[in-house]
Amino acid sequence: MAGFEGLRLFPYYLNSGRLGLLADIDFQTEAQNPLVENSGERVQAMRNVAATAEDLLRSGRFANLTEFVATKDAEGERVLGFVWGVFTFSGAAEAIRRAQEGKPPRSAKLRATIPMAAAEYELIGEMSNDHFYSTTSISVLKGKKRMLVAGHFEFHGQKVEVFPYIIGEEAEGGGSLPLTFSASIRVYPQHIDAFKRVEHNPHPTEADLKVIESMPEAAVKQAFADIIGEPYVSKDWGGREIRPPDHAPDDRGRANVGSFHLQGPVRAWPTASRKDGQARRSAHSRLR
């Protein structure tokens, strides 16, 4: 499926029973063991489940949930699909601790509010101790994290019940899993559902832009942070100086200054003559 070819799955949660049924594969019985009964045999069995999960994603067995909602009436539907989004995970460590102490089970939770088509949907689901991939999963699946979630999704109005079969991240490349996750994980704009929708939207009108202009800057920044999974919005900074020989100075012989910025839909606006020089230098710096 487009977007999954050549990418390697870093799994944190795999429902081996459901994935085996989808792929018509009988996994080793150790794949059904809970994480508290982890063993070398379970590790190998879960690796086999992870390989099958990759194959199922690449083959298109899971529908893109955002595309499904945009083209069909999802009300009352139970959809086998996947979605990228910022989820809030909670209760995994507590669930494992209770299992270790022999107490009655308590499932971990996941939830998210994700825009799809013209509405926002509240996704809520549970995770079983039997399906955590490894002990690393417990430390990763907590708080807000941007994750791929694949499984069954039941639509009831704006609420969606999630039955997760795969929770993980995608990383470029094949072969053995790289040791440094941060150096290998890549997320492209087309993989972010909220960004991908822009491709199908008409160009904004002047009225649309006035609405955006009226939004508080802090709210806009927080929205972007939520979409890309950043836990907070850092303070603005003045940029860093870019000196020769890497970059030439500006037309007044001064070093250019560059910084991060967000660029949205724009239209031409009159510029006061006294600001023309500043505007040209700012544009020149951004284009470098």
Convert the pLDDT of each residue in 71-90 to its tens digit.
Answer: 899 899 999 999 989 999 99
* pLDDT, tens only, 258-281: 444 454 444 444 544 555 555 555
Check if the beta carbon of residue 44 is closer than 8 Å to that of residue 27. no
Peptide bond into 105 cis (omega under 30): no
* pLDDT, tens only, 121-170: 999 999 998 999 998 899 899 999 999 999 999 999 999 999 999 999 87
Element (H, E) at 93: helix 92-100
Give 193's contacts (C-beta < 8 A, 6+ positions apart). Answer: 66, 83, 84, 85, 114, 115, 116
Check if the beta carbon of residue 235 is closer than 8 Å to that of residue 218. no
Q: State pTM to two decimals.
A: 0.60
What is the per-residue pLDDT for 215? 85
In this predicted structure, the answer to whether residue 197 has a pLDDT above a threshold of 80 is no
In this predicted structure, the answer to whether residue 10 has a pLDDT above a threshold of 60 is yes
